[in-house]
Amino acid sequence: MTDDSAPALPDTFLWGASTAAHQIEGNNVNSDFWALENQEGSFLPERSGDACDSYHRWPEDLDIVTSLGLDAYRFSFEWSRIVPAPGKVSQAELAHYRRMVDGCLERGIAPIVTLHHFTNPRWFSDLGGWQKSENLAHFLEYVEAAATILGDVSHVVTMNEPNMLAMLAAMVAQGEREELVAGAMPPPDAEVSARVIDAHHAAREVLRRASDAQVGWTIANQNFQAEPGAEEVAREWGWPREDVFIDAAKDDDFIGVQAYTRVQLGPDGALPIGDDVERTLNGWEYYPAAAAEAARHTAELAPGVPILVTENGIATADDARRKDYVRESIAGLRQAVADGVDIRGYFYWSLLDNYEWGSYAPTFGLVSVDHATFERTVKPSGAWFGDLAGRGGVAP
Ligand code: BGC
């Protein structure tokens, strides 16, 4: 158990929940992930389908954020909707996402907009995706278009988990789909990583010119922990999978920390999770120290860059266990702040039970969704989390 004695977080601390377009909107028929889900004999057990129908029901989602007492909402734009074909920008879709930004501002919610959350337009993947240097220009055209409606948002995330994106690109290129345990994935192709880093830096320039938003990106942090004697292995393991992307954020306005669990490393790499260890619904070790450890690691690698914990949460059917996880996670973050780590916000993943990249089974939400009627029901942990936020993270 983490010591729970650290002071409350300040009033300026942002409290929110996160989502991503493909996981909640429904019918993102022009995205490459939709194509993967719907192909004959797909290895993915479930299709996203209508998801949570948030493409239409976003005002209700924002009302829930408000009713929980949260003051920020992280959501993403869907590139494949905004640019349905190369060079063709949909003004109607831009207007749709601008209505969402306005919906946040009208409710006093800080909009944290992610421009790229894993999915690419089908046409982009058909052109070779992130493997091809000439495709970078397509991403930047999209960023230019999106930047026209982002002038007054508080934070923009150029890309979500570029390290996962780059590792997935390597796996898809090699035709491997088995090992989706993030910490144990093969390292990304260094060229793809460099391209994605270039994409981030170029997008940051575009956004800084066009908006007043704080610009950053969010990294998947696995908390690589070395067994005694494996310290050097852990350093070499962590650099291409994670640290190179944190290093690339040194001149950003903020960096997003996303952490759920840890990965222990021995001399030969990632170690299996022990049989007696508690696991969450997606098979990860229950490890509520993850967010604070990841924030401390990030602060060491990118000193002086303010941190937002843009994702942290647990997939569980036991809602009381969700409270345990979040309570302990936030106690750890309060302690990190007391120790001088510059953490300015916490976003629970996720607002809604949603499409977890192939399955609806791992339920992360503060709010459950009936996938036939789309009715939303706030879970006890949702109301509890809002209350915790109001107390600066100090549990009663
Ligand atoms: C992603 C989310 C995902 C969550 C839980 C993060 O890697 O950004 O899209 O649902 O983790 O797996």
Angle (CA) 332 356 324, round 5°? 30
The reply to whether ligand 1 has any atom less than 6 angstroms from the CB of 333 is: no
Choice from 311, 316, 353 to test ligand 1 binding pocket (greatest atom count within 8 A of CB):
311
Alpha carbon distance 276, 233 (integer Å): 26
User: Are the C-beta atoms of residues 146 and 82 closer than 8 Å to each other?
Assistant: yes
Alpha carbon distance 341, 13 (integer Å): 13
Evaluate whether residue 20 is within a structural domain: yes
* Relative orientation angle of helices 136-147 and 190-210, to the nearest 10 degrees: 20
182 pLDDT higher than 60:
no
55 CA distance to ligand 1 middle (Å): 19
User: What was the pLDDT predicted at 183?
Assistant: 65
Per-residue model confidence as pLDDT tens digits over 222-281: 999 999 999 999 999 999 999 999 999 999 999 999 999 999 999 999 999 999 999 999
Structure tokens at 65: 């954020």
Evaluate whether residue 340 is within a structural domain: yes
370 CA distance to ligand 1 middle (Å): 21
Evaluate whether residue 5 is within a structural domain: no
- Could you say which DSSP state residue 120 is in? -
Which of ligand 1's atoms lies nearest the C-alpha of 357?
10
Evaluate whether residue 153 is within a structural domain: yes
184 pLDDT higher than 80:
no
Domain holding 120: CATH number? Answer: 3.20.20.80
Q: Give the domain range for residue 318.
A: 14-390
User: Number of folded domains in the chain?
Assistant: 1
DSSP letters for 268-335: TEEPPPPTTS-B-TTS-B--TTHHHHHHHHHHHHSTT--EEEEEE----S-HHHHHHHHHHHHHHHHH
Cα distance between the two ends of the chain: 16
The reply to whether ligand 1 has any atom less than 6 angstroms from the CB of 20 is: yes
Angle (CA) 235 239 241, round 5°? 120
User: What was the pLDDT predicted at 177?
Assistant: 54
The reply to whether ligand 1 has any atom less than 6 angstroms from the CB of 28 is: no
Evaluate whether residue 7 is within a structural domain: no
pLDDT band at 180 (very low <50, low <70, confident <90, very high): low
